[in-house]
Amino acid sequence: MRQKSRYGLFLGSGFIAILGVWLFREPLRSRIGQSAAFANPTPPPELVEEIIETSPDRPAAIIAAWNTGKIVHRQVAVREISRAFPADQSFPADLESIVLSGALDVDMNVRETALGILGDRKHPALASVAAAQFRDPDPQVRLLGLNYLKGANANIGVPAVIPLLDESDPLIVATALKLLENWSGENFGVKLRDTASFEDPTTGLKQFPEGSREKAEAGAARAKAWWGVHQADFPPIQLEVPREAITARKPVPAADFSLHALDGRRVRLADFRGKVVLINFWTTWCPACVSEMPELIGLQKRHNDKLAIIGVSLDFVPDSHGQIGGHPAVEEQRSHAEEDLDERNSAALKKVKDKVARTVKGRGINYTILLDERNEVGGRFNGGELPTTVIVDANGNVRRRFVGARSLAVFEAMIAEAGQPERFPFDRSLQSAR
């Protein structure tokens, strides 16, 4: 009798378990799908978006994606905050802290999105985090800060931008002057179109119109003269970055990876631990990528003892249409359906390797070149936009990620920054100019 009772209990327990699985199959499936997507270092951004948007607890899914510390997941998480909570809706405090810390993030894409969210909401911390961008060594980040300081009142804005009048970048100076004109009602004689950068059709790099620097300097001199007369009208204001923007910041680890060099040997990111590592994603057919190579060559030459540059070629990675850009010979190889797939891939890869090798030799590249055949690393760092640069410190943490070419002087400043201990927290105060 006792045996039958136990048997019945066993059957009953099994039935309840099966019933529980059936009743909660959708939440379980959702949770399993989320875990798999968030564990994947190179998921398509669309997949992460779908996982978050279909989650029964969307805010929790956003936080989980952000906390993975992975580049793609973090970018999607910040974008999803603005989608889940439009500008006319308040969002939870833990999501607000992500946005505030995102405005100071190591990833410039995250910074832009987070500042956009704060700007759309006219967030009270917008002025302080926008002004915080002025301390960044990247002129593109400083320009980003200027664009989000437009809505500040004159007492805050004028003292904050005065130091930027000494910038060497004419577009930053001209943008600062236009903001000063709006706040002061003065005209400093500089138009943005006089200093607007344009892309050189040959090199792909940004250039400035002839005479732009001289015009910017003349306008800055007039603004400084005005400031000398009116400085007393602007009492010093100490802006403070919100505490949660600092406390929510966490290191972003760069997980180890392994790729083939042109000679066939395997090279790991961990091989360079103890040095600052600059990872540059490029292709032979990207003009801006090739044009910034002299800067990277010079950078490696100057800092060979403490810096490792890794150029990751994405030449073999197909675009969204399945085509390998810039390699007609490779596409031709793929068009012969009767050939063995492995043979075709091998032949195509050889042609790509040969073209990359010619570029390396012809350009005199003195740093490590790796071939990302399956977009394993490019997908991890979202390197589809070219050139994409990621700077990793000696401890293996990402210190900076950005898209677009930079000058040698800017690279120098970024490497110097990455060579210093990461500051958590850093100085929150932003003393206005006097």
For residue range 150-160, list pLDDT tens digits in order: 999 999 999 99
For the stretch 389-409, pLDDT in tens is 999 999 999 999 999 999 999
| Residue 13: band (very low, low, confident or very high) from pLDDT cuts 50, 70, 90 | low
Assigned domain for 367 exists: yes
Alpha-carbon 72 to chain mean position:
10
For the stretch 18-45, pLDDT in tens is 544 444 545 545 566 687 888 888 889 9
Q: Could you say which of 244, 279, 305 is where a domain stops?
A: 244
For the stretch 38-75, pLDDT in tens is 888 888 999 999 999 999 999 999 999 999 999 999 99
At residue 194, the pLDDT reads 77
Q: Are strands 307-313 and 368-371 parallel, antiparallel or unpaired?
A: parallel
CATH number of the domain that residue 339 is part of: 3.40.30.10
Assigned domain for 172 exists: yes
CA distance linking residue 399 with residue 390, whole number of Å: 8
Assigned domain for 430 exists: no
At residue 193, the pLDDT reads 81
**Domain range enclosing 370:** 252-418
Cis peptide before 425 (omega within 30 of 0): yes
For the stretch 275-294, pLDDT in tens is 999 999 999 999 889 999 99
Burial class (CB in 10 A: 0-12, 13-18, 19+), 325: middle
134 with 218, same domain?
A: yes
37 with 145, same domain?
A: yes
40 with 121, same domain?
A: yes
At residue 394, the pLDDT reads 96
211 with 277, same domain?
A: no
Assigned domain for 375 exists: yes
99 with 147, same domain?
A: yes
> For 102-108, what is the mean pLDDT?
97
Q: Which residue has the higher pLDDT, 413 or 202?
A: 413
Is residue 338's pLDDT more than 60? no
| Residue 15: band (very low, low, confident or very high) from pLDDT cuts 50, 70, 90 | low
49 with 174, same domain?
A: yes
Rg (CA), the chain: 26
Q: Mean pLDDT check: name the lowest of 76-80, 195-199, 204-208, 283-287.
A: 204-208
Give how far Cα 186 sits from Cα of 219, 225, 343, Å.
11, 12, 69
Of all residues in the chain, the percent with pLDDT exceeding 90 is 67
42 with 70, same domain?
A: yes
Assigned domain for 294 exists: yes
> For 2-15, what is the mean pLDDT?
52
- The strand order across the sheet containing 388-392 reads 252-253, 397-403, 388-392, 276-282, 307-313, 368-371, 258-261, 266-268
191 with 216, same domain?
A: yes
Is residue 415's pLDDT more than 50? yes
Q: Could you say which of 221, 244, 267 is where a domain stops?
A: 244
97 with 52, same domain?
A: yes
Q: Could you say which of 244, 260, 277 is where a domain stops?
A: 244
CA distance linking residue 206 with residue 139, whole number of Å: 13
At residue 331, the pLDDT reads 47
- Helix, strand, or coil (residue 346): helix
Tokens of 422: 């990461």
89 with 219, same domain?
A: yes
CATH number of the domain that residue 239 is part of: 1.25.10
Crossing angle (nearest 10°) for helices 71-84 and 108-120:
10
> For 334-361, what is the mean pLDDT?
77
Q: Which residue has the higher pLDDT, 122 or 18?
A: 122
Assigned domain for 424 exists: no
274 with 175, same domain?
A: no
At residue 328, the pLDDT reads 47
At residue 203, the pLDDT reads 56
At residue 237, the pLDDT reads 83
Of all residues in the chain, the percent with pLDDT exceeding 70 is 82
For the stretch 200-255, pLDDT in tens is 666 556 777 888 899 999 999 999 999 999 999 998 888 889 988 888 888 999 99
**Pick from 119, 124, 121: nearest CA to 145:** 119
Assigned domain for 390 exists: yes
Determine contact, residues 231/249, Cβ cutoff 8 Å. no
Assigned domain for 187 exists: yes
Is residue 431's pLDDT more than 70? no
Task: Give me the number of domains the chain comprises.
Answer: 2
214 with 280, same domain?
A: no
Tokens of 302: 């100057």
Token look-up 């031709």 returns 332
For the stretch 417-427, pLDDT in tens is 999 987 654 45
